[in-house]
Amino acid sequence: MREDDIVVTGLGAASSLHGVVTACAAARAGLARPRAIDGFSVVDEDTAEPAETSGFPHPFCTEGFQGAARRARLGIAALEDLLEYSGLPRGELANSALFLSLGSSYLQEVPLSGPRDTREAWVAPSETPAWDAVLKLLLRGSGLGFPARHRVVRGDEHPGSLLAVGEAVALLRARAVERCLIGGIDSFLERGRLETLSGLGLLKTPNASVGFMPGEAAAFFLLERYGTARRRGARVEAVLGPVSEAHETLHRFADRPSVGMGLAEAMQRALGALEPETPGLLIHNLNGDPWRAMEWGSALVRLSAKAPVRELPLWVPAESFGETGAATGALSVCMGVRAFARGYAGTRHILVAMSSYEGRKACLVLSDVIKGGS
């Protein structure tokens, strides 16, 4: 590999299946731990009685916490997991950049103002003070410090962690920082959010046989230049490959179904940059929502004439963790990297494809550390 290749040297997660090693092994085995959501139920339309709704809460670290504190608890647990996984002393992160995705306000805005163009639904970070509260609690609770100029907190959905990779790579190759920590934190298990999602018809409940099961998670991955990682004897388990993105104005609450145009465009760009190699595994954020299933299926059809992706194995994080929103991109990277580390990926390259309800799409190629690079 080249000195400037960007490699993954650390992983961390906090989820319904605990930390990154346990969670990825459990997901590989097809395990899941859904349970009834405390304090939330719907009225069963057949019996007119309250009926429980299931989700994927963290088994202990978020109980009794809401809002910024709940997300910070998840993030602190994931960061502790990453430090243990990487063997990196806390002080070594002083000259590092942090890219953190904390979820979009898009779904909360829909019932207030009705469906709208995705560009209007977007809210800039400065307009959401809660994100600053999460960051402050996260840094205080973890005891980690990052230079203020290299803290990037944004409101992205599932593609957020992938969209941050381009900025991170630029910083690393310019030697502006030694490492970049990229991650996401989200929770769909707070009562107000559950009521909104139920009202929008997105939740799977006794009254709705299709929809997603809410979850919560935090996930992070650590990036370094290969030369830096090699000199400090870091564990290097994957090479970062091509990243691509696309945007389309067709959003979840548009008056017509998705035809997969933006997602197919992002996937095609990533696949084109990887040629002549091809991925042997896909990871995507299907979640049980028919709209997203239509988008995914349509994207595969659009790509079928250009790339043989329709028959590739597909991993879906929501099957084991529920809908984890902004944490899904980083969680998917963790799953892919662990597959390389444990030798069950069955391929040299993995394509991670993330789609948001707002219209943003992003793809990332992960390559085997032995076969990746040149």
Tens digits of residue pLDDT in 266-318: 999 999 999 999 999 999 999 999 999 999 999 999 998 887 888 899 999 99
Indicate the SS3 state at residue 349: strand
pLDDT at position 123 is 35
> Cα–Cα distance between 347 and 292 in angstroms, integer?
26
Instruction: Name residues of the chain where pLDDT drops below 70.
Output: 111-129, 371-374
Do 373 and 226 contact (CB within 8 A), yes or no?
A: yes
The predicted pLDDT at position 208 comes to: 84
Backbone dihedral angles phi then psi of residue 182, each to the nearest 5 degrees: -120, 135
Helix, strand, coil share (%) of the chain residues, nearest 5: 40, 25, 35
Give, rounded to a whole angstrom, the gap between the first and last alpha carbons of the chain: 5
Are the C-beta atoms of 58 and 327 separated by less than 8 Å?
A: no
Distance of alpha carbon 333 from its chain centroid, rounded? 8
**Domains in the chain, ordered, with CATH?**
6-231 (3.40.47.10), 242-368 (3.40.47.10)
Q: Give pLDDT, residue 111.
A: 65
